[in-house]
Amino acid sequence: MNEMVKRGDICFDEEFSKEEMVQQSLMETDTSSSGGSSETGDENVGRGNWVGRLDFLLSCIGYAVGLGNIWRFPYLCYQSGGGAFLIPYVIFLVLCGMPLFFLEISYGQFASLSPISVWKMSPLFKGVGYGMVIISGIVCVYYNIIITWTIYFLYHSLRAVLPWSTCNNAWNTENCYVRGESVWTNSTVNTTMGYNTTGVNMTGLLLPSGIANGTSNGTSDLAGRITASEEFWQNEVLQITEGIEDLGTIRWELLICLAIAWIVIFLCLCKGVKSSGRVVYVTATFPYLVLTILFIRGVTLPGAGAGIYFYLVPEWEKLLTFKVWGDAAVQIFYSVGMAWGGLITMASFNKFNNNCYRDAMIVPLINCGTSVFAGLVIFSVLGFMSHETGIDIKNVVTQGPGLAFVAYPEAVVKLPISPLWAVLFFLMLFAVGLDTQFGMFETMTSAFIDEFPHLLKNRKVLFTAFFCFIEFLLGIPCVMQGGIYVLQIMDWYCATFSLMLLSLTECVVIAWIYGTDRFYKDIELMIGFQPCLWWKICWKYITPVTIAFVWLFSVTQLSPVTYGKYEYPDGAIVIGWMLGLVSLMPIPICAILAILREKGSFYERIKKLVHHTDDWGPAVEKHRVRYLQSLQNSQESLDSVMCHLY
């Protein structure tokens, strides 16, 4: 908005241009209705919309409910006071998780643009969008490695005797033992195979590894002895080397599984939301079916009650410790999926009048409930394992890949028809991983297609294939024998602190620069009413303070990357910090470039760049006309007030 020309005669230069824009939009609407329109009804035909009514909701649930809900939350809940941990967890869900979720899907749906182009609302901060895309791109690389391991385990589950259930395999050493059996009667000496027998165990992968580097208790609980399941993981799946200095050779079986994983991603996303919107009806619901089956089976096992009690028994005194509250805040921040760009991208394919307010209430609550439910499933089976082997459950519970690929597979061995339960468990992990991968990968492709539509819009399938191939190549170092060390660096640094700074910037810009009053009017234009005052208070005050708290807690808890007892060399740590900072660099770079390209004095350039561009607003023409008319009405009301004042 330009300055007033003179006192008593309020005149804004852009008032007349806005009136002209409204008239021009109305003329274009009339022309399109008579000569063929690119939009029909509420649909953005040029860009595409979700086809079914549940496509968006299921996609968000699948995206938010990730591997961390299954292998991170249960351990964290047990470690942080059991049922008492749910109190800070729910508090931070209300103060931070739900407000940010509502914020992102609202402005993504309003503009129908992905994370980069959506910053037409405030071009000075366009680098935030690039940062989101970079984080999603890095995480896509190693997230598909987890899917790769899952496919490998799934393949090995399709046999009568699970390979991690015995010590008479080629990869086993004289240190191998099966928990619950005599350690002197079940080991088989295979010292000529050349496998590494170190007892390191990765447990902090994802959500968030750099903060909580837990170690697995019980996988090497007898001096020098290693369980059969861990030897399968270390010596057969990873064939792990001594450190990142020795990456070894490519694990060709894992490379094939990685290729399969990327082919599946491509086939599901090659047609964008038209194809992925159908796939999520299976991938988002199947994990709940499997969790329910595993829960019913688990609670009927002897010892299950003790396991669930161990998981949920409240330890109220732990609520007095700062770390428990910090862990709850961090878990909420990562699990709901804010600042990755995925929520903005998925919401951008909504029809303009979709009730995003309702969706913002449903998805975080389902995500929270899934975490608790998954813990019941995990601990019921671990309680049974403890009952069968006589080992204290404290010595078998773990988190991360230590839970998914060592502890739980070991527990499954004790079940009747164990291959069936192993297949179901790894199919569930596969589906959960795919859903999250869909959101992150679509974030990358849609971001560049929206930013360069003339170049890429008609080449979406080819561009998707190209991106899949690039990500496949970037993942090859992670399927080498020392690849787990590379993956740990990426996970440890890439999203530990940068994600929170992106989210904080996003929240402050929309609440204080774009303005909550205006944002409320945008929401009203979509859903027909303005939300209650609570969300304004959160976006302007409570949520930014909470994000700052989470960031400070994360930074104070961050230590140099390790993998079990292995300490990384300084060069690897430097590379890790570079990975962490690369997603933040676009913020100052894009701001400086935008300022240099703009005309006028420095103050005039900044003033123009913090405000939205002329083409900001709804994508569908009829909604854009309503939006411009609302702006004009607001301008006239402001003019009237100013005239009365003077």
pLDDT at residue 620, rounded to an integer: 85
Written as six digits, the tokens of 225 are: 């002895």
Q: Which token pair is 67?
A: 């591997």
What number of helices (H) and strands (E) belong to the chain?
Answer: 29, 4
Q: Is the peptide bond before 586 cis (omega within 30 degrees of 0)?
A: no
> Closest Cα to residue 536, out of 563, 514, 568?
514
pLDDT for the residue 646: 53
Contact assessment for residue 495 and residue 210, using Cβ atoms and an 8 Å cutoff: no
Query: Which residues are within 8 A (CB) of 194 and not within 5 positions of it... i.e. 6 or more apart?
Result: none
Whether the CB-CB separation of 440 and 249 falls below 8 Å is answered with: no
If you ran DSSP here, which 8-state letter would residue 394 be given?
G
For residue 635, the model assigns a pLDDT of 60
User: In angstroms, how far apart are the furthest CA atoms of the chain?
Assistant: 98
DSSP-derived 3-state class of residue 567: strand
Structural tokens at position 582: 């690369």
What's the rounded Cα separation, in Å, for the pair 271 and 266? 9
pLDDT of 352: 93
Q: What are phi and psi of 13, to 5 degrees?
A: -60, -35
Measure the CA–CA gap between 406 and 400, rounded to whole angstroms: 10
The Cα-based distances of 479 to 175, 292, 614 in angstroms read 26, 33, 48
Distance CA 393, CA 59 (A): 36
Residue 348: HSE in the Cβ half-sphere, 13 Å Cα cutoff: 27
Distance CA 240, CA 244 (A): 10
Concatenating the DSSP letter of every residue in 452-518 gives SHHHHGGGHHHHHHHHHHHHHHHHGGGGBTTHHHHHHHHHHHTTTSHHHHHHHHHHHIIIIIIIHHH
> First vs last Cα of the chain: how many Å apart?
19
Q: Looking at residue 554, what is its pLDDT? A: 87
From the list 607, 596, 583, the residue with the least C-alpha distance to 127 is 583
Find the helix or strand (DSSP H, E) in which 227 lies.
Answer: strand 226-227
CB of 432 within 8 A of CB of 64? no
Cα separations in angstroms, 436 against 68, 139, 357, 439, 478: 11, 10, 22, 5, 19
Secondary structure of 49-104 as H, E, C letters: CCCCCCHHHHHHHHHHCCHHHHHCHHHHHHHCCHHHHHHHHHHHHHHHHHHHHHHH
Question: How confident is the chain (646 residues) per 10-residue block, as mean pLDDT?
Answer: 36 43 47 41 73 91 91 88 92 96 97 95 97 95 96 96 94 89 49 34 36 38 77 95 95 98 96 89 95 94 92 90 90 88 95 95 95 93 88 77 87 92 96 95 95 90 96 97 94 87 96 96 95 96 95 89 91 94 96 95 95 91 86 62 52
Going from the C-alpha of 302 to that of each of 63, 275, 307, 385, 591, the distances in angstroms are 34, 44, 10, 9, 61
Rounded CA separation 403/135 (Å): 25
CB proximity list for 429: less than 8 A, separation 6 or greater: 67, 70, 146, 150, 404
pLDDT recorded at residue 290: 95
Give the chain's radius of gyration (CA, Å): 27
Separation between Cα atoms, residue 230 and residue 240, nearest integer Å? 12
Contact between 122 and 612 under an 8 Å Cβ cutoff? The reply is yes
Name the token pair of 592: 């400086």
Of 441, 422, 403, 382, residue with least CA distance to 67: 403
